[in-house]
Structure 1
Amino acid sequence: MDASILLVGSDVFRLALLRLLSELNPFSIEVAPNLQEALPLIQAQQPDLLLIQASQQGSLSLCEQIKSQNRLAWIYCFVLEDTANPAFQPRIDCSELVSENAIVPSVRQRHAAALAAGADAFLEVPLLETDPQGEWRALIRAQIQAGLRQVRTYRELIRTNDLLSAIALLDPLTELNNRRAFEWELPRQIQNARQREGLISLMMLDVDHFKFINDTYGHLVGDRALKVLAARLRHNLRFYDTPFRYGGEEFVLILNETGEQEVGMIANRLCQIISAQPFTIDETLNLKITVSIGAATLQPEDDPKGISLLQRADDRLLKAKSQGRNQVVSG
C-alpha cells in the first residue's frame, strides 16, 4: 500500500469518501464513526492522513491534540465538510474571529479557525451532489495527494536524519559507538539503573604501549590492532554490556546489572583474554598486546551525568598503568 488513511465521520460521509478514494492509488483505509473511536486507532496505527468530518464534535480539538505530540505531529489532518448534507451546519468554532453581531461565520473564517487549530487543510464541498465537471472531486483528490507528498517528504527526512545520527555516533575504524554516543548513553543508563534500583559499572581500558606500536610498525598496523581489539570486546562481553571507543587507544564499557565485585572479575577476564592470544595483523605479523583497565561502580552520591563515576574509573586506569600495566584496578 502506498499510504494509510483514517476516515472519521458519519456513515454517509465515510461512504462518499470511500468512493472517491477507490479512484485513487491503493490505500490502506481504516474508518471510525466518531472521534472517541478514532483516537485509539491514531495512537496505535499512526495513519499517514487523517480525514475528519468537520461537524464531528471536537474535530479541531483532535487536530490540536495530534499536532501537540511529537510522535504524531507529522500526520496530515484534513478537515472536510459536506455542504450538501441536509444536516449541514457550520460548527467550526470561530468565536475568536467572528464579531458579536455575526450569526454564521463565513467560509473564510471557518477555514482560518481550522488551520489555527492545527488542521493542515480545510474544505467545504457538496459531497452528496452530482459533480459533472469533477471540480470538487479533483479538489479533494489534489488535497489528499498534497498531504501524502508532505508525509513522504517527512519520512525521507526522518530516514536521512536517522542515518546521519547513526554515522555521527559511530566510530568508523572500530565500528563501535564513539565518545559522543557514550556521553549521551551514560546519563540515560544511570537514570534507568536508579529508577529500578539496579547496578551499573564502568570499565576504562587502554592499550599498553600503543605509541610504540605506531612508531615501530606504522599507523596502519595500529589501526588494525584497534579493530581486532574491538572485535574481541564485542565477542567477549554479555549482550547487555556496551563498548565505546572513547578516543585514541582508550575504550570505555558500560556494564548493566554489575556490581563492584563482578566488574572486577569481568575486567580481569578481559585482560587475560586479550593478552593470551596474539593479534594477527596480517600473514606475516602477530603482535602481543596487553591492556590496562580501571573499573568503578555507581554510588548513590555520584552525579546523574556520570562524571564522577567516569573519573573514578579513569583514576584507577592510571593507577593500573603506573603499577606496571597489563592489570586491573577496581574498587
Structure 2
Amino acid sequence: MDASILIVGDHEFLASLSALTPDLAAFTLEVAPNPHEATPLIQAQQPDLLIIQATQPGSLDLCQRVKTQSHLAWIYCVVVDDRQPPAPNELGDRPQDDAHLETSALMMGADAYVDLWRAELQNKSSEKSDQSLIGAHVQAGLRRVQNHRELIRTNDILSAIALSDPLTELNNRRAFEWELPRQIHNARLRGMPISLLMLDVDFFKSINDTYGHLVGDRALQLIASRLRHNLRFYDTPFRYGGEEFVIILSDTGNQEAEAIANRICRLISDQPFVIDDSLDLNITISAGTASLVVQDDARGISLLRRADQNLLRAKALGRNRVVGGQESDAPGESGLGNPDPSPAHES
C-alpha cells in the first residue's frame, strides 16, 4: 500500500524500531524527534499512521490532540512503550506499570499499544520476520486507513451524484441552494459584487410537442454544453429545473451581468443546435439578471426573486431578450430579435 508513516521518537527508538520492523522502509517515512516538532508535520502532511515513543514527554497529549481534531482523527496512532525490561527482582512491578500505561494510552486516543520489550522477545522466538508484533499493528492500522479513504471516496461520489443533474451534467438546484449563500457570504466578506443570471429556453414546450421529449432532452444537453464552454472559469452554471438555468456571476456588478447575459443570448440564438444528421434547431432564450444589494438576505432568496421577476419581464416583452436592473430601478431591456409566434402560455 502507498502509505505515509510519521515516527515520533529519538534516534535509539528509531534504531530499535527499524531492527524490529524492517518492512517499514517500504513506506514513506518521516521522523520527528519529539511531539513538539511532530505537531506541524501532522497538520501539514496528515500521515496515515503515527508511531509514537511512549517515554517522550507529551507523547500521549500528542495522541489526544490528533484524535480530538475531526480532520485528523482518522490517523491511526500506535503508542510504543520503549522502557527497558525490568531487572529480575522487579518483575512483579512491571505488569502493573504496563497496564497503567496501556490504559492511559488508550484513554488518550491511541488505537494500539505495543510493548517494545515484549515485541523484541516475540521477534527473537519467531522464525519469520514478518510475524513482528509492531509490523502487524502497522498493517492493521493501514487497512483501517484504507477503509476510511474508500468510505470518504464513496461519500464524495454520492455527494456529487446528489448535487449533479444527470441529464445536463451541470450542478442541480440543490447544489445551487447550497452554493449561493456561501458565495454571498464571501462576496460581502471581500466587499465584492455578485450577480445572478436566470435563463429560460423560449417555447421549449413546442420542441417537446413537435419532436418528442428525447429531442427536448438532447437540446437541453447541447444548451448546457454551450453554456459550460463559454462562461468565465469562476462563473457557476446550474440547471434550476425543467428548461431553466441559473448562473452565479462572481465579482460581477449589474451592468456587467447584463452584458454577459446579452452575450449568452446571442451565443444561443446565432448558431443552430445540431440534434442529429437530419435535424437542426434554432433556439433562443430569455434572461433576467439581478445584483446583490445590502438589503438582500444571506440565503439569496430576495436576489433570486429579482432575477426571476426580470426573467418573467423578458418573456412578457417578447422573449429572446435580457431584462436587468434592481426592483427599485427601471429595468434595462434589450431585444435580440423577433421570435417565431407561439401560444402565449408556452415557456
With structure 2 as the length reference, what TM-score do the two structures score?
A: 0.86
Q: Which runs of 5+ in 2 are unaligned?
A: 87-92, 326-347
Are residues 53 and 316 of structure 1, via their aligned partners in 2, closer, same or farther at CA, if it must alter by over 3 Å?
A: same
Match of 1:48 in 2: 48
Are residues 6 and 166 of structure 1, via their aligned partners in 2, closer, same or farther at CA, if it must alter by over 3 Å?
A: same
- 1:261-293 CA distance string (max 9 Å, x none): 110111111112211211111111111211111
CA drift at 1:21: 2.9
CA drift at 1:109: 3.1
Are residues 24 and 261 of structure 1, via their aligned partners in 2, closer, same or farther at CA, if it must alter by over 3 Å?
A: closer
1:5–1:49 contact (8 Å) kept in structure 2:
yes
Q: Which runs of 4+ in 1 moved over 6 A?
A: none
Are residues 32 and 85 of structure 1, via their aligned partners in 2, closer, same or farther at CA, if it must alter by over 3 Å?
A: farther
Q: Does 1:29 align with 2:29?
A: yes
The correspondence for 1:117, drawn from 84, 108, 113, is 108
RMSD: 2.2
Are residues 71 and 128 of structure 1, via their aligned partners in 2, closer, same or farther at CA, if it must alter by over 3 Å?
A: closer
Secondary structure, aligned partner of 2:23: coil
With structure 1 as the length reference, what TM-score do the two structures score?
A: 0.90
Write the distance in 2 (CA, Å) between the matches of 1:11 and 1:125.
15
* Residue identity opposite 2:297 in structure 1: D
Mapping of 1:171-210 within 5 angstroms? 171-210=165-204
- More displaced, 233-242 or 218-227? 233-242
What is the aligned-residue identity percentage? Answer: 63
Aligned residues: 316
CA drift at 1:48: 0.8
Write the distance in 1 (CA, Å) between the matches of 2:114 and 2:102.
8
1:16–1:128 contact (8 Å) kept in structure 2:
no
Write the distance in 1 (CA, Å) between the matches of 2:61 and 2:53.
13
Are residues 314 and 254 of structure 1, via their aligned partners in 2, closer, same or farther at CA, if it must alter by over 3 Å?
A: same
Q: Which runs of 5+ in 1 are unaligned?
A: 87-101
Match of 1:253 in 2: 247
Write the distance in 1 (CA, Å) between the matches of 2:191 and 2:24.
55
CA drift at 1:127: 6.9
1:83–1:127 contact (8 Å) kept in structure 2:
no
The correspondence for 1:108, drawn from 99, 103, 111, is 99
1:179–1:246 contact (8 Å) kept in structure 2:
yes
* Residue identity opposite 1:312 in structure 2: R
Match of 1:324 in 2: 318
The correspondence for 1:132, drawn from 116, 124, 134, is 124
Are residues 35 and 85 of structure 1, via their aligned partners in 2, closer, same or farther at CA, if it must alter by over 3 Å?
A: farther
